[in-house]
Amino acid sequence: MIDIKFLRNNPDAVKENIKKKFQDEKLPLVDEVIGLDKRLRAAKGEGDELRAEGNAAAKEIGALMAKGEKEEAERKKAKVSNYKKRVAALEETERALEAEIRGIMLKIPQIIADDAPLGKDDSENVEVARYGDMKAPDFEIPYHVEIMERLNGIDVESARKTSGAGFYYLKGDVARLHSAIISYARDFMINKGFTYYIPPFMIRGDVVSGVMSFAEMENMMYKIEGEDLYLIGTSEHSMVGRFIGAVLNEEELPQTLTSYSPCFRKEVGAHGIEERGVYRIHQFEKQEMVVICAPEESAGWFVKMYGYTVEFFLSLNIPVRVLECCSGDLADLKVKSVDVEAFSPRRKDFFEVGSCSNLGDAQARRLGIRVRSAGGLKIVPHTLNNTVAAPPRMLIAFLENNLAADGSVGVPEPLRAYMGGKGKIC
């Protein structure tokens, strides 16, 4: 959420940012906020004046009573009573205006980074770099579900009976491989100095509205019927929400956190749920990294964080590329974002396996997170998040890139300790 002071003083910059994101329908919101903000400040100003006058009149009443001027004292009392009634009405007006302003401000997109590429949608994202040997083998690589079935490691049909489309049973060595990847990702981040968490898998509505936009919430989140609780779509939601209303000390930054969770998503949109594969599904698991830092440090952390993901994938023989998201592909809370895509030797192309995002002060401002500086000032920190590994999508990349001609799957050295020492599964 943009600082109201910035919007008040730079309405043209906010409008230009909206245009860069190709959301011209939101342009009237800026002037609407400015009008409501003027009314709010006028109400607060009038309320402050009336409180001052009421306090002065209240002091005079005692003096008048002491002098025996009861009639004049009663007139002052009536005046004070009228002041209080008017102040109460103004406070009600202020609360209504503040709620209306906040509702609109939540719809206005965050100011994107100056160097974010301009473009309407993900087709205009910009490739930053490629890492690893992207060479397809000289044998045919089957569809990922076929690989899992040959390893006796998946049961989609039974899951369809119990839960519907978008679910699966993993079993045997494939299930173990899935868990091994998550465990390795956890330890990989711990070794980078991150603190490990297992967070709540359900969060309240005020946290949801603090960490994501309304459009994302509608397309992603499952609501618990009859409760003010939502199933998380990623552990970032719980981890950033953990600091709601907090005032941190400057020396507590940066907060470097890595968290495991199951993730639940509606996956509403153009892509839909796969009937056969496990690329786009309703339920998966993920190891995430989250950083809360000083504003001047967020750009550096952004590069460092997606670099960790690249390093992680390369350690498992999975080539990747990094794409920077263009302005039209950035969610409303994001300042800058990149997608990490794994190479698919089956398709001789890439597919997304994670994303790294710098959200600037958007989430912290929505959630009321502050940092007390050494000088006593309260600043709004920046928040960042990044996927370390999210099986089974990441599992697809692993199986394709570690598949041998005989149908077995090699287990790279970093994973063997989590697989009982196995060097391959077959």
Q: CB-based contacts of 254: which residues, under 8 Å, 6+ apart?
A: 291, 292, 293, 294, 297, 301
CATH number for the domain whose boundaries are 122-425: 3.30.930.10
Please give the pLDDT value at position 273: 52
For residue 377, name the pLDDT band (cuts at 50, 70, 90): confident
- The closest alpha carbon to 363, from 209, 206, 204, 211, belongs to 211
- What span, in angstroms and rounded, lies between the C-alpha atoms of 206 and 190? 30
Highest mean pLDDT among 54-63, 64-73, 85-94, 194-203: 194-203
Q: Average pLDDT of the chain?
A: 92
pTM of the model: 0.88
For residues 57-83, average pLDDT = 74
Please give the pLDDT value at position 346: 93
CATH number for the domain whose boundaries are 4-105: 1.10.287.40
Residues forming beta bridges with residue 389, ordered by sequence position: 287
For residues 189-215, average pLDDT = 93
CB–CB of 168/159 below 8 Å? Answer: yes
Residue 176: is its pLDDT beyond 90? yes
Indicate if the alpha-carbon torsion angle 108, 270, 205, 248 is positive or negative.
negative
Please give the pLDDT value at position 404: 95
Please give the pLDDT value at position 231: 95
Residue 64: is its pLDDT beyond 70? no
Quick: pLDDT tens for 384-422: 999 999 988 899 999 999 999 999 999 999 999 999 999
For residues 164-193, average pLDDT = 95
Quick: pLDDT tens for 247-300: 999 999 999 999 999 999 987 554 555 556 788 888 899 999 999 999 999 999
Using CA atoms, how far residue 116 sits from 10, 140, 315, 358, 420, in Å, is 20, 39, 29, 11, 45
Is there a common fold for 4-105 and 122-425?
A: no
Lowest-pLDDT choice from 217-221, 223-227, 346-350: 217-221
Please give the pLDDT value at position 270: 46
List the chain domain ranges: 4-105, 122-425
